[in-house]
Chain A
């Protein structure tokens, strides 16, 4: 077994070897290195054909038309283009936007920018399980709501939102619905014929493709128009100028093709590993799963080990590559805003670890992870004054702490 063990597939994934093999065929003088926008010679035509095939492969996973796919540099750019692009284009219809407090920063920060430009944004509070209910959205929708942006799967806690229900509500209200699907593509079904979604953001590197490439689905029926954020040669039907990165696009296409083919069997395997990990640790005292366990993607589990601080646990688990909701790693000292938004107190937020499992995770790795988690939770709790107090029956919230 190779150490450290990678359990951070929600952060990024390694590129699948099959994808790498395709990708390198579009770079050198021996490959199809041409500019897909070159119309006057076969170098360009071949590159364009490769891009067309990739566009089809991506559209295939969504049951969409390939003309509905716009390539970007990643999900952050897709989110920016979707939100600013739609808000600016349709602002005469209204200046109210709805999103949720647990969205990715690429959505939240874009909405903040629109607030500075005079838009009004409603930030929905998810329930304790991380879900934004359709009723909450229904109550927040107004006549002047021009755009709703809600994610399909949360990056920290992996919970799945009811996009189909949001779609019905938005369509009835004539409001554009944007969905950030960076964490759901290839993991759960996305069918644009069934879900009434207008704009969907995708990332290449979350699904075993390379970094630096993403896509935005832009619905043709109904036709959604966007104000371009990147101006230039009018690529991607004017929505996103810039020479298409053939090798990255081909790679993303191949990654989406593989995802579609293998999603069902991979999900089953990943879910078994996730449950093995969870069952291996949740008989310890004061262990909490953050977010709904039922409505959750297979590969994610986010656990708070109460009375152990997350960063010191990450340090102890140096043979595991995981993420912590503790803030100590950031300069702000604020713990995970996602866990705070679902009502977790600061202590539990500080004590959280996200494990994300993927295509190359093995059972032996999970078993090793369980062993070192158990050992280190014990060791750190023996060192924790809060654990002592818990054991003595002292309510930690009854103490007047000196905040610094």
Chain B
């Protein structure tokens, strides 16, 4: 299968790989997917006192498109409020990376990871 240049770039030079302490109250963690399905994405957001995402990190088990989708999302969410980040949609992600139809689920997973992280932050800080 031919990958787009952007997928290859993110795959070969993934941005923001890593982890934050998930017990830290300012850290939002979203883990989505399932090993049996061939992809698991862990997205972590570090949120400052004003509710702005100051940093983001990811780890992903999955195909090149899944890795690229999560890498891209970590770039996009930085500097955004949680509300703004929550509006990032899979169609934007798949359009940016030129994902083929069989890889759309990777972009959906990335969107889900953002939403799961926001949920985690809200329940932690409720």
Contact = CB atoms under 8 A, between A and B. Distances in A.
Contacts of A309: 38-39, 61-63, 66
A245 to B, nearest CB: 32
A103 B12 CA distance: 36
A346 B35 CA distance: 7
A386 B38 contact: no
A110 B5 CA distance: 40
A384 B59 contact: yes
Nearest to B32: A402
Interface residues of A, number: 31
Classify chain B's interface size. 20 to 34
B38 A404 contact: no
A403 B59 CA distance: 18
Could you say which of B33, B62, B109 has the most chain A C-beta atoms within 10 Å of its C-beta? B62
Contact of A403 (B36, B61, B66): B36
A347 interface: yes
A29 interface: no
Given A315-B64, A331-B102, A386 B34 contact: no
Contacts of B105: 333, 404
Interface of A: 307-312, 315, 326-331, 333, 335, 345-347, 350, 382-388, 396, 401-404
A340 B26 CA distance: 42
A335 B38 contact: yes
A385 B60 contact: yes
A387 B19 CA distance: 13
15 contacts: A312-B11, A312-B63, A312-B67, A315-B11, A333-B38, A346-B35, A346-B38, A382-B17, A384-B60, A385-B31, A396-B35, A401-B33, A401-B35, A402-B32, A402-B33
B86 to A, nearest CB: 18
B37 interface: yes
A172 B67 CA distance: 56
Contact of B34 (A310, A387, A404): A404
A404 B39 CA distance: 10
B42 interface: yes
Given A328-B62, A385-B61, 14 more contacts: A309-B63, A309-B66, A315-B63, A328-B38, A333-B105, A347-B35, A347-B36, A350-B36, A384-B40, A384-B59, A385-B60, A401-B36, A404-B33, A404-B34
